[in-house]
Amino acid sequence: MARITFLSSFVKRWTVWEYLPSWAANIPVYGFWLWFSLRARHPFFFSNVNPDIPLGGALGESKSDILRLLPPEIVPEWVLVSPATPFEEVQAALEKAHIGFPLMAKPDIGERGFLVKKIETPAELRAYLEQWPVPFILQKFLAQPREASVLFYRFPGPEGRFGISSICLKEFMRVRGDGVSTIRALMARRTRSAFQLARFEQDFPEVLNAIPGKGEERLLEPVGNHARGTKFLNGDHLLDAQLVASFASICTHLTGVLFGRFDLKYEDETALRLGKFQTMELNGVFAEPAHIYDPSHGMWRAYQDLWRHWRLLFLLHRAQKKIGVQPTSLGESWRFIRGYLGYKKMLRAIKR
């Protein structure tokens, strides 16, 4: 199979929906936001949809605070460590929580898989925490073979309607060896993995020169994030009454969260339908219906689904307001946003 050329890569980057840069793909979404903000007379109208999460989980929310809202039986062991914590205390906290290696490290405040990394050894963890002096969640690495994102909504009140509006199944980035080609060459043959080559050259150069045996599969990315090469597939065929009932029961614990997306791992479809899964994180109001990135879905269907979800946020906002739950004030919203922008600026300075 031929190598993906610069020209073909450039064309696909700008013509294939799922590969569009985030800022370009979201231009219509900014219009959706403006339209519903005008109707609600509040730019952050969605903040009352999830009153237990700052700004409803639009940005800058603490992942550890959200994990504490979830039933413990669906959350893997985790600890939160601050930059000031001596490494010996970090190791003691991991031992107390029964978290071994490998483990997953993720910043307590982050987005789109930024700084999420599978850590193999204590030495690697120490170096990573020293490189990025921000609060980190260290979470048990989940061995379940399947990963999905499930987006739910529920209207307020004991009789409020509950639904699942998106199921996304994730296919991790892999290559299959031919016994001759390096991983670098194998990645260059497919658009999805070719887009990840620059990141691998920077972060995992030692991986790229390996030559897998003929027919041997190599997992390249254990983090199920679209921006890191994971293929997203529409999982609507899994939606049935049993699945809805299982998630509805779990979400009764989330009294102050009416709209969110579980990023989870599970053994098989039966386990998922029964609500037997482990949650890596729960995202708030800006959680996308991730199935829209299915290669077969297409841009126009994606925007239709995004419009439907923004309309759903508006209806939830209105239902909350009707019972007296108001959006976050403009002053408090701007203070929170400024704090988050300052945090991102600090991270960019470290990255340089």
242-273 pLDDT tens trace: 999 999 999 998 989 999 999 999 999 999 99
Q: The whole model's pTM is what? A: 0.92
Residue 349: which pLDDT band, with cuts at 50, 70 and 90?
Answer: confident
Cα–Cα distance for residue pair 225/145, rounded to 1 Å: 15
Cα–Cα distance for residue pair 8/244, rounded to 1 Å: 42
pLDDT, tens digit (0-9, with 9 covering 90-100), for 58-96: 999 999 999 999 999 999 999 999 998 999 999 999 999
Q: Above 60 in pLDDT, residue 2?
A: no
Give the per-residue pLDDT at 1: 53
Residue 9: which pLDDT band, with cuts at 50, 70 and 90?
Answer: confident
Cα–Cα distance for residue pair 193/188, rounded to 1 Å: 7
Q: Which helix or strand (DSSP H or E) is residue 231 part of?
A: strand 231-234
DSSP assignment string, 260-317: EEEEEEESSHHHHHTT--EEEEEE-TT---GGGG-TTT-HHHHHHHHHHHHHHHHHHH
Residue that the structure tokens 């309309």 belong to: 311
According to CATH, what is the number of the domain 77-141?
3.30.1490.20
Give the per-residue pLDDT at 306: 97
Q: Is 78 left (phi over 0), alpha (psi -120 to 50) or beta?
A: beta
End-to-end CA distance of the chain: 36
**How is residue 156 written in tokens?**
């307020």
Cα–Cα distance for residue pair 118/139, rounded to 1 Å: 10
pLDDT, tens digit (0-9, with 9 covering 90-100), for 127-173: 999 999 999 999 999 989 999 999 999 999 888 999 999 999 999 99
Q: Cβ neighbours of residue 4 under 8 Å, at least 6 residues apart?
A: 188, 189, 190, 191, 194
Q: Above 70 in pLDDT, residue 240?
A: yes
Give the per-residue pLDDT at 352: 62
Sheet holding 78-81, edge to edge: 78-81, 136-140, 103-107, 117-119
**How is residue 230 written in tokens?**
């994971």
Give the per-residue pLDDT at 338: 94
Give the per-residue pLDDT at 3: 65
Give the per-residue pLDDT at 347: 82
User: Coil, strand or helix: which one is 195?
Assistant: coil
Average pLDDT over residues 15-21: 87
Q: Above 90 in pLDDT, residue 344?
A: no
Residue ranges of the chain that CATH labels 3.30.1490.20: 77-141
Arithmetic mean of pLDDT over the chain:
93
Cα–Cα distance for residue pair 137/65, rounded to 1 Å: 11
Q: Above 60 in pLDDT, residue 285?
A: yes
